[in-house]
A and B are shown apart, each in its own frame.
Chain A
Amino acid sequence: EAAVTQSPRNKVTVTGGNVTLSCRQTNSHNYMYWYRQDTGHGLRLIHYSYGAGNLQIGDVPDGYKATRTTQEDFFLLLELASPSQTSLYFCASSASRGRDEQYFGPGTRLTVL
């Protein structure tokens, strides 16, 4: 069965802090995504990648960096965290960009104080 795991599941940091969220997929999928979920907005795409070393900008990229080190691993980096980045973050993977099912991880709840 397709699997996407995320770590940590919960994270609290202070304004200006550095945060790295990790995602691993064992689906052999080319595409991986980072989303944030906020009440009233649904899911919004931050960054995505279609392979190791590749990075594409999503719809709400400001304040976020991402890196895809291998086909399995995709990281989201917040180098100067701000309270507006308090959110629930999801990683997902899929075989293709917009026509195939996306498999989601369980989410990481980030609080920036």
Chain B
Amino acid sequence: AQSVTQPDARVTVSEGASLQLRCKYSYSGTPYLFWYVQYPRQGLQLLLKYYSGDPVVQGVNGFEAEFSKSNSSFHLRKASVHWSDSAVYFCVLGNSAGNKLTFGIGTRVLVRP
């Protein structure tokens, strides 16, 4: 069985502040990990993905994520947020066979001006 936990349902930050969104996964094999973002009234869009190699992966719009096998985590970060980063962020886990995806419940981010 595989699962994804996003422990923070909502995060509020001020514009210009840093942001970290937490993601923990449970899976016995080699994971494929993704972060997607959902802007208001839109579908999900890929921010970044990790398969192997450098545990820090860069994504779009200044986002990056760090994979930790020892902690079973894949946290998302951004150094300085903009009001347009207000959205829902989903952590997604794929299995090694490439035939199952598990979505976290999402973290809603509100950036205050």
Known: A99-B94, A104-B45. A42 touches B99 (CB 8 A): no
Q: Determine the distance from Cα of A105 to Cα of B44 in the docked complex, in whole angstroms.
A: 8
A90 touches B44 (CB 8 A): yes
- For B45, the closest partner residue in chain A by CB is A104
Q: A77 → chain B, closest Cβ, in Å?
A: 21
**Chain A CB within 8 A of B32 CB:** yes
Q: Which bracket fits the contact residues of B?
A: 20 to 34
Q: What per-residue 1/0 map shows which CB atoms of A77-113 lie under 8 Å from chain B?
A: 0000000000000101000111101101111000000
B94 touches A98 (CB 8 A): yes
Q: Which residues of B contact A (CB under 8 A)?
A: 32, 34, 41-46, 49, 51, 90, 94-95, 97-101, 103-106
Q: Which residues of A contact B (CB under 8 A)?
A: 4, 40-45, 90, 92, 96-99, 101-102, 104-107
Instruction: Beyond the given A41-B105, A99-B51, please list 16 additional residue pairs across the A-B interface where CB-CB is below 8 A.
Output: A4-B43, A42-B105, A42-B106, A90-B43, A92-B44, A97-B98, A97-B99, A98-B97, A98-B101, A99-B32, A99-B94, A101-B34, A101-B49, A102-B44, A102-B46, A106-B43
